[in-house]
Amino acid sequence: MKFVLRIEQQKGFGVNALPSCFHRSSSPIGRDVSFLPGLHSQFAYFSAVSLPTRFDHCVVHVSDWERSNSFYRDVVGVEIISKNGRWSYRFANAQLNLHGPGVQANPLAKIPVPPGGSDLCFEWSGPIEEAVDHLKAHSVEIELGPVQRGGARGDGVSIYFRDPDGSLLEFISYLG
C-alpha cells in the first residue's frame, strides 16, 4: 500500500527533508519518522493516498420530531428536509439523517445510537463570542467553554451545549 508523507511547516519551524512518498507493507500511521534526515515527527502526519471520498452524512436519533426540528433549525441553523415521511437536517455540504418515532430504518448500525447518544461539532463561522450570544438568545445553556480545542481545520475555540435529547453539541470557531 502506498502512503503519502505530508509535511506542514508550523510555528516558524522549518523542515529540511521533504520526501513526497514512500512504501510500506503496513500502515506507517503513528510510527516514528525521525529516521528521515532533518524531519521532526511533530511536523509530519501520514495519510493514505487520496481517494474520491468526503463526509456526506451521519445519523442522529431523536425522540420528538417537532422539538428537534425547531431546535436544530433555530439553534444550529440547519435546513429541514422532509422526504418520504422522514426528516433530515442539511447544512453546508453535509447532512444529519434522523431516526426517531415511526422510522423503520434499514440497515442499522450494530449498536444503533439512542436519542441523546450523539456527539457532534459544527463550525461557527464568526467569533465564538457570537455563538455564545446566539445560544443565550435561544435560552440554551452552555455546558463548557469557551475552551481551546482542535478540529478538522486545526486549533479553534469551542463551546459545548446539548440538544433537547441530551446529545452533546459543539460550536467551534477558527477565528481565534
Catalytic residues: 170
Residue 170 in grid coordinates? 459543539
Q: Are 26 and 45 in contact (CB under 8 A)?
A: no
Residue 156 in grid coordinates? 479553534
| Cα three-residue angle 53-59-60, rounded to 5 degrees | 145
Q: Are 163 and 72 in contact (CB under 8 A)?
A: yes
Residues sharing a CB contact under 8 Å with residue 48, sequence separation 6 or more, in sequence order: 1, 3, 4
Secondary structure of residue 105 in the 3-state scheme: coil
> Distance between the two ends of the chain, CA-based, in angstroms?
38
Q: Dump strand ranges (E) for the chain.
A: 2-7, 21-23, 44-48, 57-61, 79-83, 86-91, 94-99, 119-123, 144-151, 154-162, 168-173
